[in-house]
Amino acid sequence: MKFRTLATLGLGISVPALLVVPGSGATAAIEPAPVVKRPGYVANRYLDQKPVWKTCGDPALRVSCAKITAPRDWWHQGNKADDIQIAVSKVAPVKGKPSRVVFGNPGGPGGAGLGMAPFLAGRAALAKDHLAVGFDPRGTGDSSNVSCQGAPGYTMDARDRDPANLDLIAEATELTRPYCDQQSRGLLPYVDTAQTVQDMDLIRHLLGYATIDYVGYSAGTWLGAYYQTFFPEHVGRFVLDSNTDFTRPWINTFEAQPQAFERRFREDFAPWAARYDRELKLGNTPRLVIRTYDKLRAELKKQPAVEEYLDGSVKITYDQNTLDNLVVGDMYTKADFFSLATDLAFLRDLSKAQTAGGPRAAQRKVDALSVERQRQLVRRATKPAIGLSPFGRPFADDAQQATFTAVTCNDSEWPQGREYGDILSARLGPHYPLLGWGMNENPCLSWDRPRRTLPTPTGAGLPTTLMVQSVHDPATNLSLAQSAHRRYAGSRLITIAREGDHGIYGGVNKCADQLVDAFLSSGRAPAKDTTCQGEGLPGPTMTPPEGAEGTPLHRIAGMTRDLSGYLHE
């Protein structure tokens, strides 16, 4: 049976609002902006399409993929030439017809999600009764892409407060939107959450289900909460893992990151590395470990190390930004702590060799590495992000980076102009130097966003929403989950104590997995908020249980890579 209940009513109007510039003490009146509501109709050419499903990826995973057609702008569906394509994956139970469907999103925003289908289908709690569905959101992956290729990026040192350097950061910010516009062929203004949840509901309709269950990680919690807000009658069992504060604008989520990343680095990684100083040799106290990083950063800023790997086929420049990106990228999961520690030790020795003997001495240290170790360093230097990235931090995939920027800048208001960013970075930088100084590296501070307002998710009238959050999550601060939970009616919060991984469900914590599995399979949520205890940090080894690829978001990303490209014509 097909359900044709994608839409009702057009735009409403919000009450007058004030734009508050945090930290400035000033407010500025702005005109009321229309509040986005569901489009008044959906054209039959979208509702009646017949997706062509074909096997994609490893046949053992039993994944089928298809592309569906969606309007570029759900609120103006008239021009077929503007239609876009959304890549979708699905995995059905081995036996029998599924009675429910579960969608998944790995976050980003902008993370391709085809791998969510085999990942969710691999959960025993979902394998019997659920059709598992993944999709690449508009803008990224195998769906119609946006791009900011050629934009200058943030290659300067955010900690340099010289006026000339701040001018360069501001110029890069101002240039980002023009490049994104030029490269994205008119799609950029329509890559946002309001459009994406309409795409999701079209997928639901074409699959023939009245309601969906959902597992969303990181920025996928934002997407899930907005699907609930736009389509409450189609909401089933929703799990939001590693939470943004989806009840407030994006700015609140990103302003909470510097403290969270700094906490993860100083309170989790540094004590862990000090505990294993005999093996890692980074310092036998947390303070000495951090001093090792600070000294290496200063040395690489003064004299970057430019090295050739794999017989000269790959060149990597290690400077202060490369180092910071490496540290930030390895805070998402404790499974990366050992790799980070060994890389810090290697870069320290590389920098010392260069200082003592020049670039040739440093290159000789690289040449002495095994081929496998060289490949590992290259992979780590170019590895994709696995969660909500800080602004100014590059992704491996330009479509993912561009979608990240488009969604976060299009969805909600940001203060415009460089003053706010410069003040914020000067305030946060001394306390949280790992990210705080870079808070002015944000394209949203100079972004001509569509004039519209998203409705505020409240949870009112919805079934129970299950939220999962680790206390030292670096990308989505614990305070965000707590804030959203207080504001979201009917939600239950599972807090993972003594844990800092970003992306919990599916292999990080047995207690949390049991609670989430019970909820997804039966609808039975905890009667009240619950705390699970973390399972501890790994020892100093390159291969913790299941390896780094065993973490949920890493596994999803790997499955997505394996499935990508099968739908290209």
pLDDT in tens, 295-314: 999 999 999 999 999 999 99
* Tens digit of each residue's pLDDT (9 = 90 or more) over 231-273: 999 999 999 999 999 999 999 999 999 999 999 999 999 999 9
Judgement on whether residues 465 and 530 belong to the same structural domain of the protein = yes
Q: Is the pLDDT of residue 73 over 70?
A: yes
> Which domain CATH number covers 103?
3.40.50.1820
Judgement on whether residues 558 and 461 belong to the same structural domain of the protein = yes
Residue 159 lies in a domain: no
Share of the chain above pLDDT 90, in %: 88
Instruction: Give 383's pLDDT tier (boundaries 50, 70, 90).
Output: confident
d(CA 119, CA 141): 17
Q: Assess whether the previous peptide bond of 109 is cis (omega < 30° from 0).
A: yes
Judgement on whether residues 308 and 341 belong to the same structural domain of the protein = yes
d(CA 83, CA 71): 4
37 C-beta neighbours (distance < 10 Å), count: 16
- State the chain's mean pLDDT as an integer: 92
Is 85 in a helix, a strand, or coil?
A: strand
Low-confidence winner among 11-20, 108-117, 195-204, 259-268 (lowest mean pLDDT): 11-20
Give the total number of structural domains in the chain. Answer: 2
Residue 36 lies in a domain: no
Residue 10, pLDDT score: 29
Residue 363 lies in a domain: yes
Instruction: Give 385's pLDDT tier (boundaries 50, 70, 90).
Output: confident
Domain holding 482, by residue range, is: 45-146+188-255+455-563
Residue 247 lies in a domain: yes
Low-confidence winner among 29-43, 63-77, 450-464, 542-556 (lowest mean pLDDT): 542-556
d(CA 227, CA 221): 10
Judgement on whether residues 78 and 208 belong to the same structural domain of the protein = yes
Residue 58 lies in a domain: yes
Judgement on whether residues 219 and 336 belong to the same structural domain of the protein = no
* Tens digit of each residue's pLDDT (9 = 90 or more) over 30-40: 466 889 999 99
Judgement on whether residues 203 and 299 belong to the same structural domain of the protein = no
Residue 313, pLDDT score: 94
Judgement on whether residues 135 and 228 belong to the same structural domain of the protein = yes
Judgement on whether residues 286 and 227 belong to the same structural domain of the protein = no
Q: What are the residues whose beta carbons fall under 8 Å from the beta carbon of 53, sequence distance 6 or more? A: 64, 65, 66, 90
Average pLDDT score over residue span 150-168: 96
Q: Is the pLDDT of residue 411 over 50?
A: yes
Q: Is the pLDDT of residue 430 over 70?
A: yes
Picking from 157, 164, 152, the residue whose alpha carbon sits closest to that of residue 300 is 157
Judgement on whether residues 200 and 87 belong to the same structural domain of the protein = yes
Q: Is the pLDDT of residue 29 over 50?
A: no
Q: Is the pLDDT of residue 12 over 50?
A: no
Instruction: Give 14's pLDDT tier (boundaries 50, 70, 90).
Output: very low
Residue 490 lies in a domain: yes
Instruction: Give 542's pLDDT tier (boundaries 50, 70, 90).
Output: low
16 or 491: which carries more pLDDT confidence?
A: 491
Judgement on whether residues 363 and 482 belong to the same structural domain of the protein = no
Residue 429, pLDDT score: 98
Residue 405 lies in a domain: no
Final residue before a domain boundary, out of 381, 410, 442? 381
Residue 543, pLDDT score: 57
Q: Give the angle 417-421-425 at the CA atoms, nearest 5°.
A: 165
Final residue before a domain boundary, out of 381, 396, 423? 381
Judgement on whether residues 122 and 220 belong to the same structural domain of the protein = yes
Residue 397, pLDDT score: 85
Q: Is the pLDDT of residue 18 over 70?
A: no
d(CA 196, CA 190): 9
Q: What are the residues whose beta carbons fall under 8 Å from the beta carbon of 59, sequence distance 6 or more? A: none
Q: Is the pLDDT of residue 569 over 70?
A: no
387 C-beta neighbours (distance < 10 Å), count: 25
Judgement on whether residues 237 and 377 belong to the same structural domain of the protein = no
d(CA 129, CA 132): 9
Q: Is the pLDDT of residue 546 over 60?
A: no
d(CA 281, CA 348): 11
Residue 381, pLDDT score: 84
Residue 31, pLDDT score: 63
Share of the chain above pLDDT 70, in %: 93
Average pLDDT score over residue span 287-300: 98
Residue 78, pLDDT score: 82
Residue 166 lies in a domain: no
d(CA 495, CA 510): 13
Final residue before a domain boundary, out of 320, 354, 381? 381
Picking from 384, 413, 506, 437, the residue whose alpha carbon sits closest to that of residue 140 is 384
Residue 88 near residue 118, CB atoms below 8 Å: no
Instruction: Give 9's pLDDT tier (boundaries 50, 70, 90).
Output: very low
Average pLDDT score over residue span 378-407: 89
